[in-house]
Amino acid sequence: MKNLKTFIKDRRKLLGITQEELAEKAGVGLRFIRELEQGKESMRMDKVNQVLSLFGHALIPVNEKEIEQDE
């Protein structure tokens, strides 16, 4: 299971775009993208979802017990 920072960075690189381009396409600041890819622990969920929506994903609540069973 990938963590958020790895997921974002891998998807961005797969598309061949820079952090600057991702920030522009998502409508967030470059600093936000840099902090997201560095794994900053406290982030605005609405902005994270703006970025994730470019990849067809979103943050959703999940049951921790179900995650543990999948691992």
Among residues 3, 28, 2, 23, the alpha carbon closest in space to that of 12 is found at 23
Q: What is the pLDDT of residues 12-45, one digit of tens each?
A: 999 999 999 999 999 999 999 999 999 999 999 9
| Structural domain of 66 | 4-70
Sorted by sequence, the CB contacts under 8 Å of residue 17 that are 6+ apart come out as 25
CA 26 to chain centre: 11
Question: Is this model's pTM higher than 0.75 or not?
Answer: yes
Given a contact cutoff of 8 angstroms between Cβ atoms, the answer to whether 8 and 37 are in contact is yes
Number of domains in the chain: 1
Q: Which CATH number does the domain housing residue 33 bear? A: 1.10.260.40
Q: Length of the chain in residues, anyone?
A: 71
pLDDT at 11: 96
Q: Rounded distance, CA 47 to CA 65, Å?
A: 27
pLDDT at 70: 59
